[in-house]
Chain A
Amino acid sequence: MNEAVKNRELRDKIAQDYEWGFVSDVEQEFAPKGLNEDTVRFISGKKGEPEWMLDWRLKAFRAWLEMEEVTWAKLDIPEIDYQDAYYYAAPKTKPKLASLDELDPEIRRTYEKLGIPIEEQKVLAGVEGAARVAVDAVFDSVSVATTFREELKKAGVIFLSISEAIREHPELVKKYLGSVVPQRDNYFACLNSAVFSDGTFVYVPEGVRCPMELSTYFRINAENTGQFERTLIVADKGSYVSYLEGCTAPMRDENQLHAAVVEIFAHEDAEVKYSTVQNWYPGDKEGKGGIFNFVTKRALCSGDRSKVSWTQVETGSAITWKYPSCILKGDGSVGEFYSVALTNNRQQADTGTKMIHIGANTRSTIVSKGISAGRSNNTYRGLVRVLPRAENVRNFTQCDSLLLGSDCGAHTVPYIEVKNPTAQIEHEATTSKISEDQLFYAMSRGLDAESAVALIVNGFAREVLKQLPMEFAVEAQKLLGISLEGSVG
Chain B
Amino acid sequence: MLEITNLHATVADKPILNGVSLNVPAGEVHAIMGPNGSGKSTLAYVLAGRPGYEVSEGGATFLGRDLLAMEPHERAAAGLFLGFQYPVEIPGVSMLQFVREALNTQRRARGEAELSGAEFIKLAREQAKLLGMDAEMLKRPVNVGFSGGEKKRAEMVQMGIINPKFAVLDETDSGLDIDALKSVGAGINRIMRGPDKGVLLITHYQRLLDYVEPDKVHVLNAGRIVRSGGPELAKELEREGYVEAAA
Size range of the interface on B?
Answer: 20 to 34
Report the separation of the CA atoms of residues A265 and B101 in the bound assembly, to the nearest whole angstrom: 42
| A-binding segment of B46-54, B111-119, B203-211 | B46-54
List of B residues within 8 angstroms of A449 by Cβ: 73
Report the separation of the CA atoms of residues A438 and B106 in the bound assembly, to the nearest whole angstrom: 18
Q: Cβ of B141 < 8 Å from any Cβ of A?
A: yes
For A435, the closest partner residue in chain B by CB is B88
Q: What distance in Å separates the Cβ of A385 from its nearest Cβ neighbour in chain B?
A: 30
Q: Let me know if B33 is at the binding interface, CB within 8 A.
A: no
Decide yes or no: A443 and B72 within 8 Å by CB, A1-B51, A436-B51 being known contacts: yes
**Are A446 and B51 in touch, CB under 8 angstroms?**
no
Assembly CA distance A109 to B79 (angstroms): 43
Q: Taking the complex as formed, is A482 at the interface, i.e. its CB lies under 8 A from any CB of chain B?
A: no
Give the CA-CA distance A458 to B141 in the complex, in Å.
12
| B92 surroundings in chain A (CB, below 8 A) | 458-463
Shortest beta-carbon distance from A486 to chain B in Å: 15
The answer to whether the Cβ of B87 comes within 8 Å of any Cβ in the partner chain is: yes
Asked if A443 contacts B90 (CB within 8 A), the reply is no
Max count, chain A CB within 10 A of own CB: residue among B89, B92, B141: B92
Instruction: State the Cβ distance, A368 to closest chain B Cβ, in Å.
Output: 15
B149 to chain A, nearest CB (A): 18
Q: Does A83 contact B (CB under 8 A)?
A: no
Contact B88 A445 (CB under 8 A): no
A443 smallest CB distance to B (angstroms): 4
A112 located at the interface, meaning its Cβ lies under 8 Å from any Cβ of chain B in the complex: no
- Give the interface size bracket for A toward B: 20 to 34
- A1 and B88 contact, CB distance less than 8 A: no
A448 touches B90 (CB 8 A): no
Q: Which chain B residue shows the least CB distance to A6?
A: B51
List, in ascending order, chain A residues with CB within 8 A of B87's CB.
441
Given A447-B101, A455-B101, A459-B141; A442-B52 close (CB under 8 Å): no
Across the interface, B73 reaches (CB within 8 A) one of A1, A443, A455, namely: A443
Most chain A beta-carbon contacts within 10 A, residue among B84, B90, B106, B158:
B90
Does B141 lie within 8 Å of A443, measured CB to CB? no
| A448 contacts B71, C-beta separation under 8 Å | yes
Q: Which residues of A contact B103 (CB under 8 A)?
A: 446
Decide: B93 and A456 in contact? CB cutoff 8 A: yes
Among A444, A448, A463: residue with most chain B CB under 10 A: A444
A452 to B71, CA, bound (A): 13
B52, closest chain A residue (CB) = A1
Interchain CB contact under 8 A, B93 and A448: no
Residue of A at shortest CB range from B110?
A446
**Is B99 interfacial (CB 8 A cutoff)?**
yes
B90:A441 contact, CB within 8 angstroms:
yes
Chain A residues with Cβ below 8 Å from B98 are 442, 445, 455
Who on chain B is nearest to A459 by CB? B92
Residue among B49, B98, B102, B158 with max Cβ neighbours from chain A (10 Å): B102
Are B73 and A447 touching (Cβ within 8 A)? yes
Closest residue of chain A to B86, judged by CB? A437
CA distance A436 to B158 in the complex (A): 20
A451 vs B91: C-alpha distance when bound (angstroms): 16
Which residues in window 142-180 of B have CB below 8 A to A? 158, 162
For B105, the closest partner residue in chain A by CB is A446
A440 close to B (CB within 8 Å): yes
Which residues of B in the span 49-88 have a Cβ within 8 Å of any Cβ on A? 49-52, 71-73, 75-77, 81-82, 84, 87-88
Q: Nearest Cβ distance between residue B11 and chain A, in whole angstroms?
A: 12
Judging by beta carbons under 8 Å apart, are B102 and A445 in contact? yes
- Identify which of A1, A451, A455 contacts B90 (C-beta below 8 A): A455
Q: Hey, what's the 0/1 contact readout for B94-137 against A, CB within 8 Å counting as 1? A: 00011101110110010000000000000000000000000000
Does B105 lie within 8 Å of A459, measured CB to CB? no
Name, among B76, B81, B109, B141, the residue most crowded by chain A CB atoms within 10 Å (CB to CB). Answer: B76
Pair B90/A446 contact, Cβ less than 8 Å? no
Q: How far is the CA of A456 from the CA of B97 in the complex (A)?
A: 11
Whole-angstrom distance from the CB of B23 to the nearest CB of chain A? 23
Q: What are the residues of chain B within 8 A of A442 when measuring CB–CB?
A: 90, 98, 102
A contact residues around B76 at 8 Å (CB): 443-446
A253 vs B167: C-alpha distance when bound (angstroms): 52
| Bound form: Cα–Cα A448–B75 in Å | 11
Interface residues of B in 179-202 (CB under 8 A from A): none
Q: Which residues of B contact A438 (CB under 8 A)?
A: 88-90
Q: Complex Cα distance A456/B143, Å?
A: 13
Which of A441, A451, A455, A462 is within 8 Å of B88, CB to CB? A441
| Complex alpha-carbon distance, A441 and B89, angstroms | 9
B72 touches A451 (CB 8 A): no
Interface contacts beyond A438-B89, A446-B76: sample of 20 additional A-B pairs, CB < 8 Å, sorted by A: A435-B88, A436-B51, A440-B88, A444-B48, A444-B73, A445-B76, A445-B158, A446-B73, A446-B102, A446-B106, A446-B109, A448-B71, A448-B73, A448-B105, A451-B101, A455-B97, A456-B90, A459-B93, A459-B141, A461-B92
Closest 3 CB pairs of A and B: A459-B92, A462-B92, A459-B93
Residues of A within 8 A of B (CB): 1, 435-438, 440-449, 451-452, 455-456, 458-463
